[in-house]
Amino acid sequence: MNQVPNFVHIKSPKISLVIDCRRNTPVVHYFGKILSSATNDDMLAELHVRQEPKCALVHEVPLSLSPCLGNGFTGHPGISLSDQGVAWSVGAELVDIEQIDSNSATFISVDEVRNIKISHSLTFDSSNVLKASTTIQNLGSTDLTVNDCAAPTFAVPDHITKIMSFEGRWSYEFQTTSIDLFLGAYTRENRKGKTSHDNFPGVVLHTPHTTEDQGECYGFHLAWSGNHRTRVELLPEQRTYAQMSELLGSGEIVLGKDESYSSPVLYVSYSSEGLNQLSQQFHDYVRKEILNPQFHSLPRPVHYNTWEGIYFDHDTDTLKQLASIVADVGAERFVLDDGWFKGRRTDRAGLGDWIVDKDVYPDGLQPLIDHVTGLGLGFGIWFEPEMVNPDSDLFRQHPDWVLSTLGNPQIDFRHQLVLDLTRKEVCDYLFNQISDILTEYPQIEYIKWDMNRDINHTGDQHGVSGIHKQTLAVYALIDRVKERHPAVEIESCSSGGARIDYGVLQHTDRVWTSDSNDALDRLSIQRGASFFIPSNLLGSHVGPRDCHITRRIMPIDMRISTAMFCHMGMEMDPRELTEEEKQALRDGTDIYKKNRHLIHNGDLYRYDSDGQNINFGIVAKDKSEALFAYNSIIETRRTQPPIFRYKGLLADAIYELKMIWPTKLNEYSPSLLNIIDGKHYSGEALMQFGMQLPIVCPQSGLVFKLTKTTI
Ligand code: GLA
């Protein structure tokens, strides 16, 4: 056993994390901008000596990585246990630290009275993102129930007084709200059995003065697709902490001797230079460490998805016709959405019977696949494996294969129930059904994996709450499909964006950001998602002229410029496209194809939104090129729109400036657009002096391209 030092330092290129171990429990002592060698441990210790307050503890209870009742902590415990005895009052003592490099450390604590071991693992990556998890192990012979085991709790400095949350609903995910920290606890709990539309498991804590480009902020994201809790609490003695955990059901985790439970991984990052830098760090991390390099290194093809085009109205000739049109306007992959399998003529029947419906496809899918691939497009297909309609052969044969709770009636939700994936036979059945389709049609290169209801009744076959095991079983089933069919990419969809998190992204390759194809709503959804999720993962489609969700009618140019900054696709009935709209799609997909390397690998720079515009840019890592989007949402309050100051460029480099979208713009009166196009400007002129924006109608998106010249 090593002797426990007073302080442990771990660091990334920009961040220092100092853990205080003086009171035999690991505590975040400093977490912020990297410290130089001018600072030593004594300074950090002395400068924070606190005196005994009136009518309070002589020494504050440490706000440790797992603050517990047994340590005397009166905030929310990081670990809550029960057994027949005294496990409820766990309070472990730090006994060992494993540190093999300066980027990581594991802290091992043991409660010898209760025979419980707690390990905290902290690992920095070169992208300045920290992975943190807590593991609890039962060393005794009595069963130990884990009620809660949060990922490491982070003490947050007291000038961080704002909480930014990510919330929404179906078709309006990832809306951001910043509120003031208050005495007491900000808590978000999600019991939907999936990541959820309404409570994304992420939070950004920041100062009142932090903006996109300046100020301090901390981002926390729990990589988990089941139930979860976020808590940010200001204690009366002026200490704040952030704590995130899987929200466990009653009796869900019971540990026998030597068994252990690990919290989901908490991803944490810090920026001293605003929210953009924080997001860039998360994006770099995901691109480097989470995405499957097999797909990430390839250009992301333009999708065509059939859902909003034809819904359940499948027919091979029609689908072939759609494929021919979309191939002509730039699509590169055709995704056959819901409606291809047995009995699935509406959303009332068929889920669970994953065989091709012979009534609709008498010759199977091959004629359609041959047509699609003959046009040069890839082929993808939709599944919703975790669900079953009561009106299905599967349910008629196995009515007991669903999650349920004894004596409680099921709750209606899109006429479907949730299969109990904690049963091996259910996973085997689903694996075989999916794998049979992929084997019969080896041209299938893509699965849209959907999950369209909340899990209200979480009881498994043993009557125990099963969301923990169910979530792991979903991950395992996806992995099993991938292992057998390694060339198949998988998209995570859950009625749009209800299953987007770094947990599911370790198993999938793209997310369906939202069911809303309304370009204006999409801009704000994509903006919110961009705090943690990089653009290459966010599916975004050019939707129908009149949006099916909001009924807003949107110009094609705006729909295209919104979709091209993510993983672009289209999703409408292309038979309705006018010649002009088809040409716009050809031009738009062409711009996407020419710039997708930049869009999917560059640094994102959002602009602070004034409610009238949602603007952003993407700058290549080497600063050689950039794209900037000015999106007018509503009429400006003044007669002129504001000055647009570019960001992230090299000040002393010269850039060629071109407006590349829309290809035609009808202007009120001649603007600078007639003068600047193709001209050269210094980075500092573009960033410091800025460019007068032209007057455009609301619902317009302009895209500017900058290319560094050698002049
Ligand atoms: C969900 C998805 C949609 C579509 C439908 C099909 O709502 O989010 O994109 O696939 O299911 O039923």
Instruction: Give the model confidence (pLDDT) of 23-64 as tens digits.
Output: 999 999 999 999 999 999 999 999 999 999 999 999 999 999
Residue 508's pLDDT is what? Answer: 98
Residue nearest to atom 6 of ligand 1 (CA): 338
Same structural domain, 319 and 276: no
* Residue 524 located in a structural domain: no
User: To the nearest whole number, what is the mean pLDDT of the chain?
Assistant: 97
Residue 239 maps to a domain: yes
Ligand 1 mutation target, pool 452, 453, 514, 570, most atoms within 8 A of CB: 452
Same structural domain, 279 and 426:
no
Dihedral sign (CA 607, 613, 618, 623): negative
Q: What is the DSSP string of 300-330?
A: -PPEEESHHHHTT---HHHHHHHHHHHHHTT
Among 515, 518, 557, 587, the one annotated catalytic: 515
State the residue range of the domain holding 192: 7-290
Whole-number Å distance between alpha carbons of 463 and 408: 12
Owner of token pair 């992420």: 202
Task: Bin 518: left if φ > 0, else alpha if -120 < ψ < 50, else beta.
Answer: beta
CATH number assigned to the domain comprising residue 367: 3.20.20.70
Q: Is 246 in the pocket of ligand 1 (CB under 6 A)?
A: no
CA of 535 to the centre of ligand 1 (A): 21
- C-beta separation of 323 from 372 below 8 A: yes
Radius of gyration of the chain measured on its C-alpha atoms: 27
- The reply to whether ligand 1 has any atom less than 6 angstroms from the CB of 495 is yes
Q: What is the pLDDT of residue 611?
A: 85
| Ligand 1 atom index nearest CA of 494 | 8
308 lines ligand 1 (CB under 6 A): no
- Check whether residue 327 and residue 224 sit in a common domain: no
568 found inside a domain: no
| DSSP SS3 for 138 | strand
Same-domain check for residues 248 and 320 = no
Whether residue 315 sits in one domain with residue 275:
no
512 lines ligand 1 (CB under 6 A): yes
- Above 80 in pLDDT, residue 711? no
Among protein residues, the one whose CA lies closest to atom 11 of ligand 1: 495
| Mutation probe of ligand 1 site: the residue of 169, 305, 312, 337 with most atoms within 8 A of C-beta | 337
Handedness of CA 293, 294, 297, 302 (dihedral sign): negative
pLDDT tens digits along 507-565 = 999 999 999 999 999 999 999 999 999 999 999 999 999 999 999 999 999 999 999 99
The reply to whether 247 and 306 lie within a common domain is: no
Is 693 within 8 Å of 630 (Cβ atoms)?
yes
Residues 298-344: tens digit of each pLDDT:
999 999 999 999 999 999 999 999 999 999 999 999 999 999 999 99
Distance CA 202, CA 183 (A): 21
533 in any annotated domain: no
Q: Whose CA is nearest to atom 3 of ligand 1?
A: 495
Q: Verify whether ligand 1 is closer than 6 Å to residue 172 (CB atom).
A: no
Query: Cα of 438 to ligand 1 centre, how many Å?
Result: 20
Please identify, among 472, 491, 512, the residue that sits at the C-terminal boundary of a domain.
512
Domain annotation covers residue 370: yes
247 and 348 belong to one structural domain? no
CA 188 / ligand 1 centre spacing (Å): 26
Indicate if ligand 1 lies below 6 Å from the C-beta of 337. Answer: yes
Q: What is the pLDDT of residue 666?
A: 86
Nearest CA to 8 out of 129, 96, 80, 77 is that of 96
Verify whether residue 42 is a known catalytic residue. Answer: no
pLDDT mean over 424-430: 98
- What is the reported pTM? 0.98
Rounded CA-CA distance 594/617 in Å is 16
Boundary residue ending a domain (512, 544, 566): 512
Averaged over 339-354, what is the pLDDT?
Answer: 98
Residue 610: CATH number of its domain: 2.60.40.1180
- Separation of alpha carbons 701 and 705, rounded Å: 13
Q: Are residues 284 and 317 in the same domain?
A: no
Instruction: Tell me which of 269, 290, 311 is where a domain ends.
Output: 290
521 has catalytic annotation: no
pLDDT tens-digit profile of 94-121?
Answer: 999 999 999 999 999 999 999 999 999 9
How remote is the CA of residue 570 from the centroid of ligand 1, in Å?
Answer: 14
543 within some domain: no
Q: Are residues 281 and 338 in the same domain?
A: no
Of 364, 340, 363, nearest to 353 (Cα)?
Answer: 340
309 plus 435 within the same structural domain: yes
| Residue 2 forms part of a structural domain | no
Inside any domain, residue 703: yes
Q: Is any ligand 1 atom within 6 A of the Cβ of residue 515?
A: yes
What does the pLDDT average to over 1-22? 92
CATH number at residue 42: 2.70.98.60
Label residue 710 by pLDDT band (50, 70, 90): confident
- pLDDT-derived band at 297 (thresholds 50, 70, 90) equals confident
Q: 2-6, 273-277, 687-691: lowest mean pLDDT where? A: 2-6
Distance 285 CA to ligand 1 centre (A): 29
Residue 3: the pLDDT is 76
The whole-number pLDDT of residue 2 equals: 53
pLDDT on residue 145: 98
251 and 121 together in one domain: yes
Return the amino acid letter for 214. Q
**Order of strands, edge to edge, in the sheet holding 679-682?**
603-606, 616-619, 625-632, 700-708, 654-661, 679-682
CA distance 614 to 305: 26
Give, using CA atoms, the residue closest to atom 7 of ligand 1.
495
Number of domains within the chain: 3
Atom of ligand 1 nearest to the CA of 496: 8
Q: 644-663, pLDDT tens digit by residue?
A: 999 999 999 999 999 999 99
Contact 338 CB / ligand 1 (< 6 Å): yes
Same structural domain, 487 and 627: no
The residue to mutate among 197, 312, 384, 493, having the most atoms of ligand 1 within 8 angstroms of its beta carbon, is 493
Q: Is the pLDDT of residue 253 over 70?
A: yes
Cα–Cα dist 190/227, whole Å: 5
382 lines ligand 1 (CB under 6 A): yes
- Reported as a single tens digit per residue, the pLDDT across 578-626 is 999 999 999 999 999 999 999 999 999 999 988 899 999 999 999 999 9
Q: Are 98 and 88 in contact (CB under 8 A)?
A: no
